[in-house]
Amino acid sequence: MFNKKNYLLNCDVCDTRKINEEDYSGYEKMMINADVVVVSAASKSVLNRLPVTINQDCTIEIADDIDVELKTINGSYEITGTTAVQEHTLLIVNGSLNIHPGTEDTLAKYEKIHVNGSVRCPKSLEGYLTKLSANGSVSMYPDDCVILDSTFIVDKYFPMRAKEGKKYYVENKVIVQDKAVDLGKLVQKNVQFVTKQLIVPEEMVESCVELFDEKVDFVVIPAGMTLHYGDAVLNEQLLEKEGSNIYVYGKLNVPEDCDVESLAESVEKIVVKGNVVLKKEQEGCFKKINVEYSQLEFKWEGRIIENKPSARVDKALLEGSPNKVLVRNAATIKIASDVTPELILDRLMIENCAKVACNEEQESAIAAVAQNVAKIGESEGEELPGMMDGIKDLLSTKMINADNYIM
């Protein structure tokens, strides 16, 4: 019925180096959506002559005279001294990449390395990273370190397991949560930590100073308080487990059914490193507790419509929702013509939607209550023609979906 006038390619990696201009010259429009596009000087010239739009995160150019082996890894990957790799390999990692010491010869064989994630590499190999591009963080660690988790909680068994004179690299932070941990044993073993931050009880600061250098950021938990690392829920179970003096390194959530006044009698002090999340009506009772926090974050108490391909908002819905209506994560929202601008301003909130279809009178009110909305406007009568145009475009388009595609 329709001639294939358009070309749409969706893929993770698009290799254009062997592209033949004659194969694509008949298309009126072309679009390539890819994470990585591989080009050469010759293929760039061809692409510039074609009616093509390319949406990509990264473009990698390879010389025309180099025969490249493409290797794609979905997930974490490690390069060690025993990693088998061919000369002129293009490595694409959709995950984290860990490069081990002593891999100079292996790294030299890669033509390019692109990582959609974080990269960890020994300091001695920093000069070999000129071939590398990454969308995430790139961290360097001393070659003589043993690598631990990026956030490492020191338990009571670690001092027994730690090796004499070893350095341990922790990318983000070291946490001492259990006051029974024998940090003196680590000092005796001449252990060192290389990290950015230490979270430690005040009672244990002196016993662990020798384990860290002067650049480490110390977060000291006040004496007598119990550290709860991570988000917490204010309830009887929390107080039974952690006691009446609690330092929450994260958010504190106050459940809707929480008897705040009753719990307040059991709390000596709570320090919250992050926000406190609660209902507006709980604010008064909560502030009677001896608590320190960054800020209060009130729970949404109105109606929520979310994660829908389309949603309709009319006068009856808004008038029946005294606590407002929040519409979020919807592709299209249609505002009925019987909804006044005043009702929109008083009862509606919109977040993260591609399009809000409304009449001209409603547009300014929608703009005032919307966040992260790509398009606002258009009347009801325009919806069907737009849909038909989309169907026609789809039928006249050659569409290709692939992980890796060679043009």
Residue ending a domain, choose from 200, 221, 242: 221
Q: pLDDT by residue (tens digit) across 268-304?
A: 999 999 999 998 888 888 988 999 998 998 888 889 9
Kindly give the confidence (pLDDT) of every residue in the chain, 407 residues in length, as a single tens digit, with 9 standing for 90 and above: 445 688 889 888 899 998 999 999 888 888 999 888 999 999 999 999 999 999 888 898 888 888 888 888 989 999 998 888 899 999 999 899 999 999 999 999 999 999 989 999 999 998 888 889 888 889 899 988 998 998 999 999 999 999 999 999 999 999 999 989 999 999 999 999 999 999 999 999 998 899 999 889 999 999 999 999 999 999 999 999 999 999 999 999 999 888 888 888 889 999 999 999 998 888 888 988 999 998 998 888 889 998 888 899 999 999 999 989 999 988 889 999 999 999 999 999 999 888 899 999 999 999 999 998 888 987 444 444 444 444 455 567 788 888 888 88
Could you write out the DSSP letters of every residue in 229-251?
A: ES-EE-SHHHHHHH-SEEEEES-
Indicate if 188 and 134 belong to the same structural domain.
Answer: no
pLDDT in tens, 137-148: 898 999 889 989
Does residue 387 lie in a domain region? no
> Is 395 within a domain?
no
* 334/286 same-domain check: no
**Confidence (pTM):** 0.66
Are residue 337 and residue 362 in the same domain, yes or no? yes
Give the pLDDT score at 383: 45
Domain identity same for 193 and 259: no
Does 390 reside within a domain? no
Final residue in a domain of this structure, among 113, 141, 169: 141
Which pLDDT does position 393 carry in this prediction? 57
363 and 339 co-located in one domain? yes
**Co-location of 125 and 160 in the same domain:** no
Tell me which residue range forms the domain holding 20: 6-65
Token digits for 28?
A: 């009126």
Inside any domain, residue 269 = yes
Residue 121 resides in a domain:
yes
Q: What is the pLDDT of residue 3?
A: 59
Give CA–CA dist 111/282, Å, rounded.
Answer: 60
User: What's the CA dihedral at 5, 9, 14, 18 to 10 degrees?
Assistant: -20
Flag whether 394 is in a domain.
Answer: no
> What is the total count of domains within the chain?
5
Q: Are residues 248 and 263 in the same domain?
A: yes
Q: Are residues 191 and 244 in the same domain?
A: no
Give the domain-ending residue among 141, 169, 201: 141
Please give the pLDDT value at position 68: 84
Q: What pLDDT does residue 231 have?
A: 94
pLDDT in the model for residue 188: 94
Residues 290 and 230 in one domain: yes
> Taking the CB of residue 174, how many other CB atoms lie within 10 A of it?
24
Residues 257 and 292 in one domain: yes
C-alpha distance from residue 376 to each of 202, 357, 360, 369 (Å): 55, 6, 9, 12
User: Are 307 and 287 part of one and the same domain?
Assistant: no
- 116 plus 87 within the same structural domain: yes
Bridge-based pairing state of the strands 226-229 and 192-194? unpaired
Q: What is the pLDDT of residue 357?
A: 93
Residue 400 falls inside a structural domain: no
Local structure of 159: helix, strand or coil = helix
Q: What are phi and psi of 204, to 5 degrees?
A: -110, 5
Residue type, 161: R
d(CA 66, CA 58): 20
List of E strands, 142-299 = 145-147, 151-153, 167-169, 173-175, 192-194, 197-201, 217-221, 226-229, 232-233, 245-249, 252-253, 269-272, 276-278, 291-292, 296-298
Residue 392 maps to a domain:
no
Query: Cβ(183)–Cβ(205) under 8 Å?
Result: no
